[in-house]
Structure 1
């Protein structure tokens, strides 16, 4: 049985087209970082576009690829929890399937955990970051992250960049307290990690907005409500 140091997770929901690029590019990049010591887990979350069948074919051809399929939609957070719980690596990471964050940064992401950090996260909002996205998304992102910093006391700049790595043992000890099951998972993990004194490395990345991504009013309202709910649990319920 081969030793696995790095478990990389691609959360996917009806992303068959993106997976056709993301899987081979991930394997090439990971092989350069951890030769023969990685696995690529596709956390496929109730897709209906052929993603399951495509990844199953990749898995049959390459033992480093693992399909983690769910018949019903779990939500991004629950899908990630399931993948990290079943991962074999001492270092776990995930990134968005559209590869919006340039894969050149994966060596820095994993390297931060190798260097002793508990958490590493890419940031689109540091002065050195190189990002391209619509004005609406830029305004929404900066407003959201300002609220997280102000209300939840975070010292980080970007909480929702889908490009993060963790020491698996430290992450698993944190997850029982994390209640977010979808998009707010990223923020809650980072806020709770800070509250628990975890060492976190945030670094600038090159990021390009994927096609078809939009900011919906419903998403903005839900994320704002989630910030207030987490503040209540941390400061009133002490949970």
Structure 2
């Protein structure tokens, strides 16, 4: 365990035994080359495969394993990881590194003036090297319309799984997050803005992984339900306030 980490990287993982090892090797190599005091936290979301064993094999390189006894969803895994670290800054990254870890540098620049910097596949500076299938692309656009109707406006992409947060803000928000599955990103951003924190959208490199576990019809419906749930759960949240 790294004492007083400057940076933590939280990776939610569910049955990622095939992809996780290569991703952790790349992440650890990147952090070692920078010489930053950092820890990597893999949250195993109730996997039945060897995900936990793969993560544990990187313990000597600063990787910590947090195990959830049952599968609760990506949002629950992210929340557990955010509450596990005391780092000054926290990066959330997908296990498949669809956004390369090297893109962290772009988010760090934006985070100078924002408490939350989110990677985006949909702004002028984004570079999508391997696009999604057309059905998933259409589902994403439809979901973004729902997101705007739900109160998160002015952002082109809320769902890219590459986000950098101020550590104190991350822990504050995590204590109040309730969405366990796919709309956790929206809840995080909505709550951050509601509390007056600044959100910066940053174009990143992104490559679709054909082995993605997202399912078009099932997950679109779940996302819509999550949007309704988060607004109901936070209906008593005070109006947004400006912070200095």
Correspondence list, 1:1-239, <5 A: 2-33=3-34, 35-59=35-59, 61-62=60-61, 64-113=62-111, 115-131=112-128, 132-213=131-212, 214-234=214-234, 237-239=235-237
Q: What's the secondary structure of 2:99's corresponding residue?
A: coil
Question: Aligned residue pairs: how many?
Answer: 233
Mapped to 2, the partners of 1:154 and 1:232 lie a distance apart of 18
Using the TM superposition, give the Cα deviation of residue 7 of structure 1 relative to its aligned residue in structure 2, in angstroms: 0.3
TM-score (norm 1): 0.90
In the alignment, the residues of structure 1 paired with residue 154 and residue 236 of structure 2 have an alpha-carbon distance, to the nearest angstrom, of: 20
CA distance in 2, matches of 1:39, 1:176: 21
Once residues 233 and 71 of structure 1 are traced to their aligned partners in structure 2, the CA distance between those partners, rounded to angstroms, is: 25
Inter-partner Cα distance in structure 2 for 1:148 and 1:84: 23
Between 93-102 and 171-180, the greater mean CA deviation after superposition: 171-180
The whole-number CA distance in structure 1 between the counterparts of 2:138 and 2:94 is: 21
- Which runs of 5 or more structure 1 residues have no equivalent in the other structure? none
In structure 2, runs of 5+ residues without a counterpart are 238-244
CA distance in 2, matches of 1:24, 1:153: 35
Q: Partner of 1:179: helix, strand, or coil? A: coil
Superimposed CA distance per residue, residues 179-212 of structure 1 (whole angstroms, 9 cap, x where no aligned partner) = 1012111110001111211111111112111122
Q: 1:39 to 1:153 in 2, by over 3 A?
A: closer
Post-superposition offset of 1:233:
4.3
Q: Secondary structure at the match of 2:58?
A: helix
Q: Please state which structure has a larger fraction of its residues in helix.
A: 1
Aligned-partner SS, 1:42:
strand
**Structure 1 residue aligned with 2:240:** none
Per the TM alignment, residue 128 of structure 1 is displaced from its structure 2 partner at its CA by 3.0
Flag the 1:151–1:46 CA change in 2: closer, same or farther, 3 A: closer
SS of the aligned residue for 1:24 comes to helix
User: Aligned equivalents of 1:41 and 1:111: distance in 2?
Assistant: 23
Measured at CA, do residues 230 and 198 of structure 1 come closer, stay the same or move farther in structure 2, by a change above 3 Å?
A: same
Give CA-to-partner distance per residue, 1:84-131, whole Å, 9 cap, x none. 111131101111111111333111223433x14200100111133222
Residue by residue over 1:22-78, the C-alpha shift from the partner in whole angstroms, topping out at 9 and shown as x without a partner, is: 101001222344x1400111111111211112222221x33x111112222232112
Find the aligned partners of 1:77 and 1:41 in 2 and give their Cα distance: 15
Change (3 A) 1:153 1:24: closer
Give the Cα separation in 1 of the matches to 2:209 and 2:219.
17
What SS does structure 2 have at the residue aligned with 1:66?
Answer: strand
Query: d(CA) in 2 for partners of 1:233 and 1:77?
Result: 15
